[in-house]
Each structure stands twice: as C-alpha cells, then as structure tokens.
C-alpha cells in the first residue's frame, strides 16, 4: 500500500481518521507526523491542521485477508486451519485440516476458484497489484511434480508429431513451470492464452526464419 496523508485538527484525530478510513488497528499503521498542528492565537489566528503520513503494515493485509477467508470457510462443514503471510506483493495462504481434499476439488477447481476470489478481494485492499497463492494440504507441491511431468510429455509429443498441444487450464505457478521446462527443448516455444481461472499453456514448434540471399548485379 502506498503511503497516504491525513489532515485533522490534531495528530490523534488524524490517526483516528486513518483507522476509520481503512478499518485498521493503530498498530497496523506506520505513522510519520509531518505537521503537529497549532490552535493559533485565541484559536483564530495562525491555526494549522495536523498532517500525518500513514502506511499500512503487512499485518493489516494479513488480518483482512484472513478474516475474509474465515467467512468463506465458515460455509465448509469441516474444521480447517489456515495461515496467511504477506511477502512483498504476494499473499501466501496455507490450508490444512480434516477432509481437506474437498477444498481441492476435482482437478483443483475448488482451490482454484478460492484463490481467484481471494485475489479479487486482496486487490481491493491495495493500490498495487497483489498475487495470491493458496496451498491446500501440500497440494501445491504435488501439482508442481505433475506440471513437470505434463510439460515433459507434451514437449516430447510436439517434437515427435509436429502438432500444437493446448494443455488444460493451470494455476499461474504451474504455467511458469511448464514454460521453464519447454524453454529447455530446442525448437519449441510456449505461450499462455485465455483469462483466469481458465488460462492455459500452448506448446508448438518454433518457426524457423527463412534465410533469403540476394545476388548483386554485376
């Protein structure tokens, strides 16, 4: 969150205004006093408002994202534990608990939808682009191995048959793995198409540039 300024009749009022505006606790704000303000002579002449520079701390985003996630999980009839952490522009959420496989869903569609909803909410909290990664019961690590396997098989198939392959929709981190692996195969290229959460990777042969030679007329 970018820093912002708040003005009020005094510093305490300015801080309260910042808290109210963002529904933040005082310890979630990094406050720098720019102008303490002054009541002036007889409260009339030389009156200056207080000005404070505020910046929301990472724990603000973590708390708000956690509260929103809890409301979503309240609809789930099994006990789920979660941990939210903010690193730079990425919110990482780890989920675990009983019957956790239901939160993954077939081919990861449920956790994908949950991640998409949380990303929309997180980006409403911030004026900079935020990424959200949700890992359910170490599901992400399992998907990493699967993405690697799918990428190798698809790359070899394109090289052998010479036909383009469009993979099933994947999470962003899975697509990055596929692109990385395909880049290691000579003569192949990959790119992503579609919109989240249905964005997918396409793998095809790299078109060779035709070499054109010209002869000078003597």
Q: In this structure, are 130 and 148 located in the same domain? A: no
Count of structural domains, the chain: 3
Find the CATH number of the domain harbouring 87: 3.30.300.20
Q: Which residue ranges of the chain lie beneath pLDDT 70?
A: 37-47, 77-78, 98, 107, 208-218
Tell me, yes or no, whether 188 lies in a domain: yes
pLDDT at position 213 is 38
Which residues, including other chains, have CB under 8 Å from residue 112's CB and lie 6 or more apart? 105, 169, 171, 197
pLDDT digits (tens, 9 = 90+) for 42-66: 455 455 888 989 998 989 999 999 9
Of the CA atoms within 13 Å of residue 117, those in its CB half-sphere come to 13
Final residue in a domain of this structure, among 56, 74, 96:
56
Final residue in a domain of this structure, among 98, 113, 137:
137
Final residue in a domain of this structure, among 117, 137, 157:
137
Q: In this structure, are 133 and 64 located in the same domain? A: yes
**In which domain, by residue range, is 43 found?**
4-56
pTM of the complete model beyond 0.75? no
Tell me, yes or no, whether 148 lies in a domain: yes
Instruction: Name the strand (E) or helix (H) holding 148.
Output: helix 139-161
Q: In this structure, are 160 and 181 located in the same domain? A: yes
Q: In this structure, are 126 and 64 located in the same domain? A: yes
171: buried, middle or exposed (CB in 10 Å: 19+, 13-18, 0-12)?
buried
pLDDT at position 43 is 52
- Placement of tokens 């496989």 in the chain: 101
Find the CATH number of the domain harbouring 181: 3.30.1370.50
Tell me, yes or no, whether 218 lies in a domain: no
pLDDT at position 201 is 97
pLDDT digits (tens, 9 = 90+) for 86-120: 988 899 998 887 677 777 777 677 888 888 999 99
Tell me, yes or no, whether 41 lies in a domain: yes
Tell me, yes or no, whether 200 lies in a domain: yes
Tell me, yes or no, whether 71 lies in a domain: yes
Tell me, yes or no, whether 25 lies in a domain: yes
Tell me, yes or no, whether 215 lies in a domain: no
């Amino acid at each position: 969150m970018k820093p912002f300024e708040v003005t009020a009749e005094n510093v305490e009022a300015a801080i309260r205004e910042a808290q109210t505006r963002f529904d933040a606790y005082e310890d979630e704000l990094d406050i720098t006093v720019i102008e303490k303000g002054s009541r002036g002579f007889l409260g009339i002449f030389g009156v200056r408002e207080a000005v404070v520079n505020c910046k929301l701390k990472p724990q603000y985003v973590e708390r708000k994202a956690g509260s929103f996630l809890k409301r979503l999980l309240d609809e789930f009839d099994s006990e789920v534990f979660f941990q939210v952490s903010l690193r730079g522009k990425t919110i990482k959420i780890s989920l675990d608990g009983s019957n956790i496989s239901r939160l993954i869903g077939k081919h990861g569609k449920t956790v994908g939808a949950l991640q998409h909803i949380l990303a929309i909410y997180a980006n409403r909290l911030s004026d900079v682009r935020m990424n959200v990664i949700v890992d359910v019961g170490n599901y992400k690590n399992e998907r990493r191995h699967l993405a690697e396997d799918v990428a190798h098989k698809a790359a070899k198939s394109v090289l052998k048959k010479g036909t383009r392959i469009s993979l099933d929709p994947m999470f962003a981190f899975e697509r990055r793995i596929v692109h990385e692996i395909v880049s290691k195969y000579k003569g192949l290229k990959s790119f992503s198409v579609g919109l989240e959460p249905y964005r997918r990777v396409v793998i095809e042969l790299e078109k060779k540039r035709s070499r054109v030679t010209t002869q000078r007329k003597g």
